Amino acid sequence: MKYDIAIIGSGPGGYVAAEKAAHFGFKVALVEKENLGGICLNWGCIPTKALLKSAQAYHYAVKGEEYGVEIIGEVKPNFTKIVERSRNVASMMNKGVEFLMKKNNVDVIFGKGSLTKEKTIKVESEQGEQIIEAEYIILATGAHSRQLPNLPQDGKHIIGYREAMTLDKQPETMVVVGSGAIGSEFAHFYQTIGTQVTLVEFMPTIVPNEDKEVASTLQRVFKKNGMKVYTATSVDKVEVIDNKCKVTLSGKKTEELICDVVLSAVGVETNLEGLGLENLQIANERGKVVVNEWYETNVKGVYAIGDIVHGPALAHVASKEAEVCVKHIKQLEVKPINYSNIPGCTYTTPEIASVGLTEDKAKEQGIETKVGKFMFMASGKATAAGNREGFVKVVLDKKDNKILGCSMIGDNVTEMIEEIVVARENGLTAQQLIDAVHPHPTMSEAVMEALTMALNS
């Protein structure tokens, strides 16, 4: 079986690469060992957002009287139906990718793909073994939940993100270890639908990569909603006793917690094992494949994208890398990705979105700044919606008023951050954004207001 391009992995890197390559006229094979769409579509980005939407719907029902809506009878979440809806959403999107591949005449081959010494791809499945030849190979195998020695996942008592979205029943109590996007989103989901959640973070603040004011705002909201939050705290061990988990914490003091389930959300590890990198002596370091700015490895014709290369492990990054990679193979003019301008989003309530430097990071780099912050409590749209928590905070370079970074926390801010991304990508000044008319009433007016405050600071 001979192809122009063969891709191992069908996540947001792999299937986008396949679609782009087919669009350019290449004959394409896409190898997938499990589900089209990869982790993001089937077990990550998409189904978690479905869970969070159900939690939001439940929250609005509970708070209905605040909006003048009278609820007759008891409002309660149906955990089984919430999980079922999430899986149906994932299945629908999976079918969408399947349709996209058929539409573009991409040959989808199910099985575990690995590189051979002959620079071909061996695909192993229940149907047997087959060999795929291709002029170009793109590796896009993604990542899986990281396992820590003191948190050995058993899939029942100590779980990862997969099990967290398909539990048989809703736990009464849960300890979530790690407060990055995955940990915070699951902690918020379970707390909202009635599970007593304890969130444990090793770093001094939750969502440790975000602006400190953003982190403190989210922590305050979490606590207001009844969640217990520990920072600067580590999990020493977890013991399963009588179908319960005894969690030993070390922080300001040693403490023991009893819960039904422990969710380990301490990051991900790349899927490189069994990929056959050693057969071609493909260079890798610290668990990541080494590539150039076009994602070509040290072996000519073999490329790698997504979570398995250095850079943010985000779906939208993998998709952009796929586009750059395929355009380079097609020998088109293409601009390398600006990794300093990658937006990050966390879909808690309130949501978090950020790009570029925080105020503290700018200071660490010795940059003189102007900072502006606009609180959503002064926003007409936020007030009307009943979601006034949060703010938009912008950091400008004092010498030219260009935008160094922006941090947002509030309702729907993940839909607002792109304005700043586009401005930074094109070197726009704060005044140029302010001069563009922002519609009223909208949450996005807060960007204009924060920029104005920064210029006047």
344, 346, 348: which is closest to 358 by C-alpha? 344
> 250 pairs with which residues across the strands?
234, 254
- The Cα 302–Cα 298 span in angstroms is 8
Strand partners, 456: none
What is the per-residue pLDDT for 105? Answer: 97
> What's the N-to-C CA distance of the chain in angstroms?
64
Burial 234-266 (b: 16+ CB within 10 A, else e): ebeebeeeeeebebebeeeeeeebebbbbbbbb
Cis status of the peptide bond prior to 439, with omega within 30 of 0: no
What integer pLDDT is reported at residue 457 of this predicted model? 86
Residue 85 C-beta-side C-alpha neighbours within 13 Å = 15
Please say if 440 is a catalytic residue: yes
Q: What is the mean pLDDT of the chain?
A: 96
In this prediction, residue 252 carries a pLDDT of 87
| Amino acid 1: pLDDT | 84
Q: Cα(387)–Cα(351) distance, rounded to whole angstroms?
A: 11
- Report how far apart, in Å, the C-alpha atoms of 156 and of each of 13, 56, 318 are: 30, 26, 31
441 upstream amide cis, omega within 30 of 0:
yes
10-residue mean pLDDT profile of the chain (457 residues): values are 96 98 98 94 94 97 94 93 97 96 97 97 94 98 91 94 95 98 98 98 97 98 98 96 96 94 95 96 96 98 97 96 98 96 98 98 97 98 96 97 98 97 96 97 97 95
| CA-closest candidate to residue 9, choices 86, 97, 79, 87 | 97
Quote the crossing angle between the two packed helices 14-23 and 79-103, to the nearest 10°.
Answer: 30
Cα distances from 148 to residues 186, 207, 248, 251, in angstroms, run 19, 19, 15, 18
| Three-state DSSP state, 333 | coil
What whole-number distance in Å separates Cα of residue 221 and Cα of residue 199? 13
In the prediction, which pLDDT does 25 show? 97
User: What is the distance between the alpha carbons of residues 104 and 20, in angstroms, rounded to a whole number?
Assistant: 9
pLDDT reported for residue 86: 97
Q: By three-state DSSP, how is residue 162 classified? A: helix
219-224 contact pairs (CB < 8 A, 24+): 221/349, 221/350, 221/389, 222/187, 222/188, 222/191
- 23, 310, 316, 440: which is the annotated catalytic residue? 440
Task: Estimate to the nearest angstrom the gap between the alpha carbon of 373 and the chain centroid.
Answer: 25
The closest alpha carbon to 175, from 239, 242, 80, belongs to: 239
pLDDT, tens only, 361-377: 999 999 999 999 999 99
Q: Which residues pair with 145 in a beta bridge?
A: 268
Give the per-residue pLDDT at 169: 96
d(CA 379, CA 439) in angstroms, rounded, equals: 13
Measure the CA–CA gap between 69 and 202, rounded to whole angstroms.
42
- What tens digit of pLDDT does each residue of 181-223 get? 999 999 999 999 999 999 999 999 999 999 999 999 999 999 9
Q: Evaluate whether 352 touches 210 at the Cβ level (below 8 Å).
A: yes
**220 membership: H or E segment, kind and range:** helix 212-224
Helix (H) or strand (E) holding 328: helix 315-329
Q: Which two tokens stand for residue 173?
A: 């109590």
pLDDT for 203: 97
Bridging pattern class, strands 2-8 and 403-410: unpaired
Cα–Cα nearest to 372, from 285, 434, 310: 434
**Alpha-carbon distance 25 to 27, whole Å?**
7
CB atoms within 10 A of CB 369: 19
CA pair distance 297, 138, nearest whole angstrom: 10
Tokens read off for 413: 């801010």
CA torsion, points 397, 318, 265, 174, in degrees to nearest 10? 100
In the block, which residue shows the tokens 């690469």?
17
- Residues ≥6 apart with Cβ < 8 Å to 4: 21, 26, 27, 28, 134, 135, 136
